[in-house]
Amino acid sequence: MSWDLAQDAAVFDGSEQVALHFIEGGEAVETVIVSGALRGPLLRQAAEAAAAGAALAPSELLFHLPAAPLAGRQPRVGDAIRDAAGHEYTILEAVLTSRGTRWKCRCNQTRPAE
Protein backbone atom coordinates (compact mmCIF):
# COMPACT_ATOMS: atom_id res chain seq x y z
CA MET A 1 0.00 0.00 0.00
CA SER A 2 1.42 3.37 -0.98
CA TRP A 3 1.10 6.49 1.11
CA ASP A 4 1.08 10.03 -0.27
CA LEU A 5 0.99 12.67 2.45
CA ALA A 6 -0.21 15.47 0.14
CA GLN A 7 -3.06 13.38 -1.31
CA ASP A 8 -4.06 11.93 2.06
CA ALA A 9 -4.09 15.40 3.68
CA ALA A 10 -6.27 16.72 0.86
CA VAL A 11 -8.83 13.99 1.49
CA PHE A 12 -8.88 14.37 5.28
CA ASP A 13 -8.80 18.19 5.29
CA GLY A 14 -11.51 18.48 2.65
CA SER A 15 -9.44 20.72 0.43
CA GLU A 16 -10.65 21.60 -3.03
CA GLN A 17 -9.53 23.26 -6.21
CA VAL A 18 -10.95 26.72 -6.91
CA ALA A 19 -10.44 29.44 -9.49
CA LEU A 20 -9.43 32.87 -8.21
CA HIS A 21 -10.51 35.58 -10.65
CA PHE A 22 -8.73 38.91 -10.38
CA ILE A 23 -11.35 41.53 -11.25
CA GLU A 24 -10.72 44.97 -12.74
CA GLY A 25 -13.47 47.20 -14.07
CA GLY A 26 -16.05 44.48 -13.45
CA GLU A 27 -14.24 41.95 -15.66
CA ALA A 28 -11.90 39.07 -14.85
CA VAL A 29 -8.45 40.05 -16.12
CA GLU A 30 -6.58 37.02 -14.79
CA THR A 31 -7.51 33.64 -13.35
CA VAL A 32 -5.34 31.44 -11.15
CA ILE A 33 -6.30 27.84 -10.36
CA VAL A 34 -5.63 27.18 -6.68
CA SER A 35 -5.40 23.63 -5.32
CA GLY A 36 -5.58 22.96 -1.61
CA ALA A 37 -8.21 25.59 -0.82
CA LEU A 38 -10.29 25.13 2.32
CA ARG A 39 -13.69 26.61 3.06
CA GLY A 40 -15.59 26.98 6.28
CA PRO A 41 -18.10 28.99 8.25
CA LEU A 42 -17.42 32.34 9.89
CA LEU A 43 -17.64 31.06 13.46
CA ARG A 44 -15.60 33.73 15.24
CA GLN A 45 -16.95 36.56 13.09
CA ALA A 46 -20.55 35.42 13.62
CA ALA A 47 -20.05 35.34 17.38
CA GLU A 48 -18.53 38.84 17.37
CA ALA A 49 -21.35 40.18 15.19
CA ALA A 50 -23.98 38.62 17.47
CA ALA A 51 -22.33 40.16 20.54
CA ALA A 52 -22.46 43.57 18.83
CA GLY A 53 -26.15 43.11 17.99
CA ALA A 54 -25.50 42.59 14.27
CA ALA A 55 -25.65 39.57 12.00
CA LEU A 56 -23.70 38.23 9.07
CA ALA A 57 -25.36 37.32 5.81
CA PRO A 58 -26.05 33.56 5.74
CA SER A 59 -24.16 33.36 2.45
CA GLU A 60 -20.87 34.59 3.98
CA LEU A 61 -18.05 32.12 4.53
CA LEU A 62 -14.27 31.82 4.65
CA PHE A 63 -11.93 30.45 2.03
CA HIS A 64 -8.33 29.70 3.00
CA LEU A 65 -6.12 29.81 -0.09
CA PRO A 66 -2.49 28.65 -0.12
CA ALA A 67 -0.28 31.63 -1.04
CA ALA A 68 2.27 29.69 -3.12
CA PRO A 69 0.11 29.12 -6.24
CA LEU A 70 -0.60 32.85 -6.39
CA ALA A 71 3.09 33.60 -7.04
CA GLY A 72 3.01 36.90 -5.19
CA ARG A 73 -0.43 38.02 -6.39
CA GLN A 74 -2.76 39.19 -3.64
CA PRO A 75 -6.49 38.51 -3.50
CA ARG A 76 -8.32 41.83 -3.19
CA VAL A 77 -11.75 43.02 -2.17
CA GLY A 78 -13.99 42.52 -5.21
CA ASP A 79 -12.06 39.59 -6.69
CA ALA A 80 -14.01 36.36 -7.12
CA ILE A 81 -13.58 32.70 -6.17
CA ARG A 82 -15.41 30.04 -8.18
CA ASP A 83 -15.67 26.50 -6.85
CA ALA A 84 -15.80 23.28 -8.88
CA ALA A 85 -19.62 23.28 -8.75
CA GLY A 86 -19.70 26.74 -10.38
CA HIS A 87 -20.74 28.76 -7.31
CA GLU A 88 -19.11 32.19 -7.30
CA TYR A 89 -18.11 34.15 -4.21
CA THR A 90 -16.99 37.78 -4.02
CA ILE A 91 -14.09 38.53 -1.68
CA LEU A 92 -15.11 41.00 1.04
CA GLU A 93 -11.82 40.86 2.97
CA ALA A 94 -8.45 39.16 2.39
CA VAL A 95 -5.76 38.75 5.06
CA LEU A 96 -2.42 36.98 4.73
CA THR A 97 -2.09 34.54 7.66
CA SER A 98 -0.14 31.50 8.84
CA ARG A 99 3.22 33.23 8.55
CA GLY A 100 2.54 34.29 4.99
CA THR A 101 1.52 30.86 3.69
CA ARG A 102 -2.27 31.25 3.40
CA TRP A 103 -4.80 33.91 2.47
CA LYS A 104 -7.93 34.00 4.62
CA CYS A 105 -10.70 35.41 2.43
CA ARG A 106 -14.11 36.38 3.84
CA CYS A 107 -16.56 35.97 0.98
CA ASN A 108 -20.20 36.35 0.07
CA GLN A 109 -21.86 34.03 -2.44
CA THR A 110 -22.81 36.16 -5.42
CA ARG A 111 -23.82 33.59 -7.99
CA PRO A 112 -25.15 30.05 -7.64
CA ALA A 113 -24.00 27.29 -9.97
CA GLU A 114 -25.29 27.64 -13.49
Burial 80-105 (b: 16+ CB within 10 A, else e): bbbbeeebbbbbeebeeeeeeebbbb
CATH of the domain at 98: 2.40.10.270
Residue 79 has a CB neighbour count (10 Å cut-off) of 21
The Cα angle at residue 86 between residues 82 and 91, in degrees rounded to 5: 25
Query: Which range of residues forms the domain containing residue 98?
Result: 15-111
Q: What percent of the chain shows pLDDT beyond 90?
A: 60
Rounded to the nearest integer, the mean pLDDT of the chain is 82
Query: Has residue 77 been placed in a domain?
Result: yes
Find all residues with CB under 8 Å of 85, minimum gap 6, and list them. Answer: 113
| Total count of domains within the chain | 1
For residue 12, what pLDDT band results from cuts at 50, 70 and 90? very low
